[in-house]
Amino acid sequence: MGLSPSTLFHLTSKSGLKGILKDNFKIKYCFEKLSHNEKNLEMAIPMVSFCDIKISEITEHIGKYGSYGIGLSKEWASEKGLNPLLYLTDESDFSNVLISSIRKFAQIKTENVEDRYNLTNIFRYIKVYESDLTRKGKTLKNYRFADEREWRYTPKMRANKKFKDWLLPNEYDTPEKKRIENTKLANERLYFNANQILYIIVKKESEINEIINYIKTVKGKNYTMEEVDRLTTRILSCERILNDF
């Protein structure tokens, strides 16, 4: 048995959890900023993010991302092409070499589409080790992103698609621009089946029956009764996690 958990968690709101149970994961653009030597590399990337954490560590993250969530197996993650992020510190030699190489490559004129895809794809799996985190109007100073051990899904790069692989800040800096660009991702999904769900997280014990009934309603035609019954045993509340783990 390895030291890391066998489950990846995606934390969200109550409505977000219901949406995932009904329609699988919808892909949305998320804004990322990589600060390096007082220079910022900024872009919005289409993705779904997960935390590689133990169930006992969930409570450390719910305040930032939501008290509801779903945990899926790492076997599922590997099959779907998810990958853990590479975290960069500002002053390390490795960070300097990597960022410098990417910047130099970006200046090279090439007609090779695959080369351009490879360049952009590196950006999609990089994150700062530590920086300020702003959520719900509040800023946490010197937040250590590496503690989340993030895994990320991004749609495969391909030609002739309706959406962009990444957006510059001026393409995603207003609510209307965000709405328009995310609408282009409406048909993109990250799918899972009942057997790949290891945990369903709700905020309170009193909400468990509500989620059970919701699963029966939205998945009754897609999952067998045996699968639905098994899922009901995998629902945990944050209240119980706080007390028992």
Query: Which residues is 127 bridged to in the sheet?
Result: 87
pLDDT greater than 80 at residue 120: no
Looking up tokens 């944050």, which residue turns up?
238
Q: Which residues lie below 8 Å from residue 25, measured CB to CB, with a gap of 6+? A: 10, 48, 153, 189, 190, 191, 192
pLDDT greater than 80 at residue 107: no
45: left (phi over 0), alpha (psi -120 to 50) or beta: beta
Three-state DSSP at 44 gives: strand
DSSP characters over 130-146:
EEEEEETTEEEEEEEGG
Closest to 47 in 3D by CA, of 13, 78, 15, 85: 85
HSE-CB at 100 with a 13 A cutoff on CA atoms is: 9
Is-contact 198 10, C-beta < 8 A? no
- Under the banding of pLDDT at 50, 70 and 90, the label for residue 2 is low
pLDDT greater than 90 at residue 234: yes
- Under the banding of pLDDT at 50, 70 and 90, the label for residue 116 is low
Least confident of 30-39, 203-212, 222-231, 235-244: 30-39
pLDDT greater than 90 at residue 132: no
Instruction: Measure the CA–CA gap between 50 and 152, rounded to whole angstroms.
Output: 6
Three-state DSSP at 171 gives: helix
pLDDT number for residue 60:
82
Q: Which residues lie below 8 Å from residue 28, measured CB to CB, with a gap of 6+? A: 46, 47, 48, 182, 185
pLDDT greater than 60 at residue 200: yes
Least confident of 22-31, 89-98, 162-171: 89-98
pLDDT number for residue 93:
85
pLDDT greater than 80 at residue 232: yes
- Under the banding of pLDDT at 50, 70 and 90, the label for residue 1 is very low
pLDDT number for residue 193:
94
